[in-house]
Structure 1
């Protein structure tokens, strides 16, 4: 992943991202941004579901501007986070990534 550090309103740690990189490369930055908005969020992998061939990745978030808690599942980090970002936008929270 190619990043150039740029000073922003946050805490000076938001990078400019290479548009060819996937969402899985910025997942921790997304979680941090959500926390700064008052949203509690997490992503986890379930080893049992992975062994069973089921979607093993789960994103969950609640609080802040989200009126209801939300969850998104996927077979990969990219799929899970892609679904999570879509659901957040539908809830009116546009993550800047």
Structure 2
């Protein structure tokens, strides 16, 4: 994987974070973290934030979850939470 650029994505639907989501998941796996992103059709129908990122294991003390109304919002929140948990995600 390429070295990180030091960018810090914001919770912004135009940030482009969804473009690197698969690279983030792969990097997390390399760190021993199991992670996934999913959409919940029922929450989508109900107009609630339907996207969820979940991760656990490796250097994380416990599991973590981030929700958002779009993949970009969800991943932006997830990156913030991962960094707050001490993981220097290089994207």
Long gaps (5+) in structure 2? 8-13
Among candidates 16, 19, 22, match of residue 22 of structure 1: 16
Aligned to 1:50: 44
1:15 Cα deviation from its structure 2 partner: 8.8
Q: How many positions carry a matched residue from both structures?
A: 84
Structure showing the higher strand proportion among its residues = 1
Long gaps (5+) in structure 1? 1-9
Aligned equivalents of 2:15, 2:45: Cα separation in 1? 28
Aligned equivalents of 1:16, 1:87: Cα separation in 2? 18
1:21 Cα deviation from its structure 2 partner: 6.0
* C-alpha RMSD over aligned residues: 2.1
Among candidates 48, 66, 80, match of residue 72 of structure 1: 66
Aligned equivalents of 1:80, 1:21: Cα separation in 2? 12
Shift of the 33–16 alpha-carbon distance from structure 1 to 2, 3 Å rule, reads: closer
SS of 1:66's equivalent in the other structure is coil
* TM-score, with structure 1 as normaliser: 0.79
Q: Select the structure of larger CA radius of gyration.
A: 1
